[in-house]
Amino acid sequence: MTARATLPHPQRAMSPPRSSGDAQRDRARLILVALLLAFMLIAGQLVRLALKAPPDVKLSLAEPMAKSWSRPDIIDRHGRLLATDVASHSLYADPQLVQDVDEAIEKLTVALPGLDATELRKTLSDKSRRFAWVARGLTPRQAQEVHVLGLPGLALRTEPKRVYPLGRLTGHVLGTVNTDNRGIAGIERMLDDTNRVEAVQGPARATAEPVRLSLDLGVQHALTEELKQACVRYAAAAAAGVVLDAGSGEILGAASLPEADPARPMDWLDGQRADKLAGGTFELGSIFKLVTVAMALEAGIADLDRVYDVREPLVAGSYVIKDPYPQGRPLSVREIFLHSSNVGAGMMALEAGAERQRAFLERLGLTEPARTEAGPVAAPQLPKHWGRIETITVGYGHGLAVAPLQFAAAVASLVNGGLKVTPTLLAGSQTAARPERVISVATSAKLREVMRLNVTNAQGTGRHADADGYRVGGKTGTAEMAGRGGYREKSVISSFAGAFPMDAPRYVVLVLLFEPQTGEGRGQHITAGANAAPTTARVVERIAPLVGVLPRLEPAAPWPRPASAPPDAPSPAQ
C-alpha cells in the first residue's frame, strides 16, 4: 500500500512566524495604556481635591528681612552738614536656627551689656519666627565682639544709621528718627511725609539731593551760646530765641533750652526739653504792645503825639489795671510805649474795640494755628469771651497765649513795611506771589520810630538792648507765669522783641528767658529790661557781622527826660 503525504493547512501555511519587534510593540501599548490610566486617576484626584472646600488654608512663608530707610543729607543755607547717613552694623536672629538659647543669652549680654535678657529670651525662643532684630546701630567694636562668638542663628547686617555731626545744636529743628531710620519729628518727619526717603536693603545711600535749610550755623551757634550764658548770668530756668529774616520769613537761628539731642529720640518725650518756640504757647506780656500801638496807628485812632490821661487805673468789673511804675502825668503814645504803660495800652485797645482788636490779630496770623516744615506750631489760646476786661488785658499782652515763633513772624510783618511774613525753615522756599499787606508803609515807619526810640532814649525800657552801630529797636515784655490758682508773682517770662537795623530792618530777633532770678550786674530786677534786653544786644553784636550788617555809628536820639524810669515791669494779673 502506497503511503500518502500529509499536506499543511492552507491558513497555517499563509501565517508568517511572529518576530521580536511585534512583541515590543505590544509591551509599549500596554505601558501607554497603564500610563494613561494613571494620569486619569491623578487628574481625577486633583479635580476631587479642587472641588472639595477645605475649612482652612495654611501657608508656610519665610519671614522677609526688615527694610531700612535711606535719607538725604540735611545742610544749612551755606552747605554745611547737619545730618547724614552712615553704614552701621545691626544684629538679627533666626530663632529656628538658634541651637542653645541659654548659651546665646549668656554670651550676648556680656558682649552687649545693654540687652534685656528677659526680652532676648522671649525673642530667641519664638520658633514661629524666621527673623527678629536683636540689637541695632552697633559700633564696629561691638560688631566684632559679636562676630567672634560664632553663635548659630545669629548674623550681622549693615544698614544706614542717621548721625548728627553737631549734636544738640540744631536738635529741635532737625527732629529725630526711629530705629528703622524713619523720621518721627521735625525736619526728619517732613522728609518722610514728602516721600524723600528710600526703602533699602543694606547701607545704600539716598540718591536725592541734600535738603538745604534756612538755618545759618554761625547764627545758630551764636544765638545758642548767648542764651546759655544768659541762663547762667541771670539764673534762668530755660531760654528760647529766634532770628528771622524780616522780608522772607526764613529762620536763620532757632534755639530752645534745654536742648534736645536728635540722636536720642527719648528727648522728645521729656517735657522739660520741649521746643518752647513752636511747641508751646505763652502770655508774652508787654511785647504785645507792639501790636496794640500798630493797631491804633493803622486804624487812625491815635498818632504818636496823641496824649492819654493814664493817671487813673482802668476798672473792669472787679479788676483794676494799674501801671507798675506810674509817671503821675498824662502820656503821649510815644511815652506810653517807652514807659510800657498798661493803662495807656488798655485805653487804646478799648478805643479800637474787641471786634477790631480780634480782626487785627487775625490779620497778623495770631489767632489761627500755624505750621512750618518742622511740623505744626502750637495753636493760640484765645479768650473764650472777648469782653471789656479781655480787650484791655490782650492790649498789654495777657489773657492770650501764642507760640513765640508765631509772634516773631507778626513782628516781622509790622517792621518790614507792612507785608505779611510766614516763617520757613527751607532756604529760598518763598514763592513769587505778592504778599498780603497787613499795615501801611506809614504805620510801619512810625512803629519803627518808637521801637528805635525805646532803645536809644534814657527813658526807654529797652535801652540795654542797644548794640553799638547796629541800630537795634524793639520792645521789652515781662509777663507773670500762670500757675495753679493764678499768676506767680516772682516767676516771669522776660522777653525782648526787636529788629535791626531799624532804618531798614533786615532781621527780627526774639529772646525769651524763663524765670530769671536776677538782672544785669546781678541786681535783683527780674524784668526784661535788665536781662532779656542786654542778652539781645549781645546776640546782635555776634550775628550782625555774620549776616552782612555793618556797624554804623550815629549820635543818640535827642529826647531828654529828667527822670530815669525803671526797666520794664511785669504786667499785673487779671
Q: Which residues are catalytic?
A: 286
Instruction: Tell me how far CA of residue 185 lies from CA of 71, 260, 275, 277, in angstroms.
Output: 14, 11, 11, 15
Cα gap 294→411, rounded to integer Å:
10
| Phi and psi angles of residue 379, each rounded to the nearest 5 degrees, phi first | -70, 140
Three-state secondary structure readout of 299-314: HCCCCCCCEECCCCCE
* Angle (nearest 5°) at CA 31 between 27 and 37: 145
| Contacts with 377 (C-beta within 8 Å, 6 or more apart), sequence order | 278, 279, 369, 370, 371, 403, 405, 406
Cα gap 45→39, rounded to integer Å:
10
Q: H or E element: which one contains 489?
A: strand 486-500
What are the DSSP calls for 191-224, one per residue? HHHTT--EEESSSPPP-SPPEEBS--HHHHHHHH
What single-letter amino acid sits at 206?
A
Q: Are 412 and 451 in contact (CB under 8 A)?
A: no
Task: Cell numbers for 335, please give them.
Answer: 511815652
Cα gap 307→336, rounded to integer Å:
9
